[in-house]
Structure 1
Amino acid sequence: MANSSLTAIKRNLDHYIGEKIMLKANGGRKKTIERTGVLEETYPSVFIVKLDEDNNSFKRVSYSYADILTASVELTICKDDGQVKITSGI
């Protein structure tokens, strides 16, 4: 079941490559990291986000689809006609 959920998350993200996104990640110790960038690429196990350069010390970050499945990372796609939140769907 988990493998099919991870595949579904990847397929969902594939539609949004090149789109602007906001992500919230668990930074540990009750700390949440919020970043904006562009969904650059999806791979079989991870996705890559190119961050907005002026706000971040890193140029790119990667997260696994399991991070979305376990809600360690919240991903929101920013589109002209509104926002789309990517979830595990469970």
Structure 2
Amino acid sequence: MEMGLVDIKSWIKGHLGSNIKVVEQAGRKRTNEYVGVLVEAFPAVFIVDLSASEQPAHASFTYTKILTEDIQVTFEKRP
């Protein structure tokens, strides 16, 4: 199913407080992986509170990065 920007924003906002994993394409077969909790959803970006062992403590991502497939977002299944 193809999602538009409005659908992506709604999907992200519906998972506030959930565990999240974001895989970012870093070019030439490299990726960066971020694991944490989705804590904020603003009009242009969403904020992930990263696991305690990672620096910095927070990371922000734009919804358009999901749309353009520069990042892949997965949420931990709720019990």
State the TM-score, normalizing by the size of structure 2.
0.88
Over residues 7-29 of structure 1, what are the superposed CA-to-partner deviations in whole Å (9 max), with x where a residue is unaligned?
A: 11001111100000111001234
Structure number with higher helix proportion: 1
Distance 2:71 2:18 in 1: 17
Q: How many residues align?
A: 77
- Residues 1-90 of structure 1: matches in 2 within 5 Å? 5-54=4-53, 56-81=54-79
Q: Unpaired segments of 5 or more residues in structure 2?
A: none
SS in 2 for 1:76: strand
SS in 2 for 1:79: coil
Which range moved further: 42-51 or 4-13?
Answer: 4-13
Q: Unpaired segments of 5 or more residues in structure 1?
A: 82-90
Over residues 66-90 of structure 1, what are the superposed CA-to-partner deviations in whole Å (9 max), with x where a residue is unaligned?
A: 0000111100000234xxxxxxxxx
CA RMSD across the alignment: 1.5
Amino acid at match of 2:12: L
How high is the sequence identity, in percent, across the aligned residues? Answer: 35
Amino acid at match of 1:57: Q
